Amino acid sequence: MSKTAFFIVLVMNFVLPAFNVLAEARAPQLVIAGFIEALQKNDTDYINTYVDLEKIKNQPGHSYTIESLRDLFARVDASKIECSITAYDKKMAIVSVRMNKPISLDFELQHQSFSQGKSMDNKIKNADYYKIIGIHLPKYSLINESAWSRPSHSLSAKLVFECENSPSRAKIIHPKVLLCNDSHVPIKFIQCVYDAGEFSIKIPDGNVVEKYSGPRSGPQGAQIVVISPSEIFEFDAYDYGYGFNTDTSTYVFNTHSFQAILKPGRYVVDYSLIMDTKRIKKMLQRYDWLKSSTRSIWTGTISIPTVEILLH
């Protein structure tokens, strides 16, 4: 897959019927934006009209109270949210909407329609709008991504940070490394969670986040991949061997080079990938089943542009 193809985003277009409706209820995204503003302004009339708080409070998995919803959206600018419709249940009149930015959440909205009686000109007035009936954490959500690095020996890279959400344990940050072959010939790359690059995490004032050192168990795993010209190869630098944390209010960042328990906040991540002949030789000795020569494996140094991640 080329870089051009990677950046193509397919958006599902959903056309709503032309009802005589309130302006803020014409599109699900506007209902969501209005809900966020109502939470911040404590507009209970809007919330009671456009949100089924009882259903959201009692939904399976991760439920929300009005207080937890206010905390969740306290720093969200409703004018800058980005949403896309992911599904439409015609029978139940339910639209599924994914909020992609600034945080990732899945919303369910159900179409409401009822008669408001007769107007001054003796015509029936109908009220048609969407009501939020569910708010869910997606299994995986995008946190942020870096820009592409400069090529090193025809290989460039970028980082994509995804969050694995769970109601029963800490959220897991998956730093995914994307490698693009910018040459016209295939490139061999040795990939292993033990040699997935060097990470460093700081808070905005420049202080490095404190690392923790825990026991590791489980296989290391290693493979040699062939990256074709213009192809993008992706691997997850998260190391499952360090286990989980049960505190649901925290985030786990576990790579072989850096392990940390992070609280909600803003962080800056630096990353570099260094593969020289000496390191490649040690890796091939450690993973003797790969049976390859050092000459055919990519070597180089890649530094990813600094990327900021915001954890809610």
| Statement: residue 179 has pLDDT above 60 | yes
pLDDT for 235 equals 93
How many CB atoms are located within 10 Å of the residue 282 CB?
A: 12
Taking the CA of residue 64 as centre, how many other CA atoms within 13 Å lie in the half-sphere pointing to its CB? 20
> How much of the chain, in percent, has pLDDT values that exceed 70?
83
What is the residue-averaged pLDDT of the chain? 83
| Statement: residue 124 has pLDDT above 80 | no
Contact 191, 221 (CB under 8 A): no
pLDDT for 90 equals 86
| Statement: residue 9 has pLDDT above 70 | no
Pairwise pLDDT comparison (193 vs 157), residue with the higher score: 157
**What is the pLDDT confidence band of residue 1, given thresholds at 50, 70 and 90?**
low
For the chain, what are the domain ranges?
13-138, 141-311
**What is the pLDDT confidence band of residue 126, given thresholds at 50, 70 and 90?**
low
Question: Of the spans 65-69, 90-94, 154-158, 249-253, which averages the highest pLDDT?
Answer: 154-158
| Statement: residue 292 has pLDDT above 80 | no
Pairwise pLDDT comparison (216 vs 277), residue with the higher score: 277
Q: Kindly state the average pLDDT of the residues 204-216.
A: 79
Give the angle subtended at the CA of 175 by the CAs of 169 and 179, to the nearest 5°: 155
Q: 145: which 2 tokens? A: 């991504």
**What is the pLDDT confidence band of residue 187, given thresholds at 50, 70 and 90?**
very high
**What is the pLDDT confidence band of residue 15, given thresholds at 50, 70 and 90?**
very low
Contact 249, 296 (CB under 8 A): no
| Statement: residue 57 has pLDDT above 80 | yes
Pairwise pLDDT comparison (292 vs 70), residue with the higher score: 70
Residues whose CB is less than 8 angstroms from the CB of residue 152 and which lie 6 or more positions away in sequence, other chains included: 300, 301, 302
Nearest to 87 by CA among 113, 106, 61, 112: 106
| Statement: residue 6 has pLDDT above 80 | no
Q: Taking the mean position of all CA atoms in its chain, how far away is CA 186?
A: 30
| Statement: residue 26 has pLDDT above 50 | yes
Element counts in the chain: helices (H) and strands (E): 6, 15
**What length does the chain have?**
312
Q: Which helix (H) or strand (E) holds 41?
A: helix 28-41
| Statement: residue 195 has pLDDT above 70 | yes
pTM over 0.75: no
Mind listing the pLDDT tens digit for each residue in 222-255?
889 999 999 999 999 998 777 667 787 889 999 9
Quote the DSSP letter at residue 92: T
pLDDT for 248 equals 78
